[in-house]
Amino acid sequence: MNYYDRIQKSIEFIERYIDESIDIQDAADISKMSYSEYCRFFHAITGYNVQEYIGKRKTAYAVNDMLKGKTDINHLAKKYCFSSTEAFCMIFRSNTGYLPSEFLDQDIYYSFEMIDVRKIYYDTQDKMLIERFPDIRLLRPFPKMRMASYTSFGNQPENKACKVIMEYAKANKYLDSYKAFRIFGFNVSDSIKHDGTYGYTVCMTVDDSHEFSDGPIKELIIENGQYVVATTTVNNLVDTWERFKEWLRVSGMNSGDHQYLEEHLNCCNWRVEEPVNDTEINLYMPVSRNSNNSKR
C-alpha cells in the first residue's frame, strides 16, 4: 500500500472515531508510519497538520448539530470529546470566526468536508490496469517543486546525503512542529564507477521564501511532470521497475523524460536499524501521454 493510500486509511479512521478522543499515534499506526513520519507526511499532502484537521472535522459536525437545534455547548463539547467546553469554544472560534453562542446569529455557513487523498492525487485510470496492477497508481501531474539538495558519492552515498539533508532541515527548523515537507532522492545519472561507487542526491521540498546561503546544500528545481507510483523496497527496485515497464506497455503511455524519484518517509539514518535492502520507498516512474492517447 503506497503512502497516499495509507494516509487515506488514517483519514477514514479519524472519521470513524470523530466523536471520540483520537490519539494521533493510533492514526499513525493505521498508516504504518512512525509518529513523526505520519505528522509530517499528513501535513505535506493534505495541507493541514493532523490536530488541525481533526479540529476542523469536529467543528463541522458540531455546526451540523447546531443547525438541527442541538445548541447546548456543554453537550457538544462532551459529544465530540473536547477536553473542556473552553477548548471546544476556542477551536470552534478559530475555525468559524465566532463562538458557538454567536454562530447561529451570523449569516454564514461553515463546512469542512472529509479529505479524500485519492481524489486529490490519483488520475483517471482504466479499471483493467488497476485490477492487473493493484500496487501501481497513475498520479495527477506533479507541480514544479523547489528543493534543497545534497549529492554524495561512495559505496552507500544515501547515508551521508540523508544525514546532511536532515541536519539542514533541523537547522532551518523544518523539524519543528512537523512542518510540511517531503523528502525525495535519486541516483546520479552515469555516476557508477568501476569500483562500484556511485552518486545519490537527496532533496527536501522548501517553500518559495526559503533562502539559500553558500554551502553544500544547493537549490534544485524538479520540473512538473506525471508519474506512476508504487511502494517497494530497495531490494525489490529492479522487480518494481520491470512491473512499471509492463504497466507502460499495457497502458499505452510513454516513459517520461523528467526526473524519476524515490520518496523517503524518514531518512534520518537511512533506517540503519534495518538491513539497507529492506528500506521502504515510494518509487515514482515518469510517464507521458501519447499525443493520440486521449485521457481515459
- Hey, what's the cell of 211? 533562502
37-83 pLDDT, tens digit per residue, is 999 999 999 999 999 999 999 999 999 999 999 999 999 999 999 99
Return the SS3 of 116.
coil
User: What is the fold, at CATH topology level, of the domain defined by 3-103?
Assistant: Arc Repressor Mutant, subunit A (1.10.10)
Parse the chain into domains and list their residue ranges.
3-103, 137-288
The 3-state DSSP composition of the chain as helix, strand, coil percent (nearest 5) reads 40, 20, 40
CA angle 95, 99, 105 (to 5 degrees): 105
Is pLDDT at 209 greater than 50 in this prediction? yes
Residue 218: half-sphere exposure toward Cβ, Cα within 13 Å: 10
CATH annotation of 137-288: 3.20.80.10
Model pLDDT for residues 124-136, shown as the tens digit of each residue = 999 999 999 999 9
For all residues of the chain together, what is the average pLDDT?
92
pLDDT (tens digit per residue) in 85-98: 999 999 999 999 99
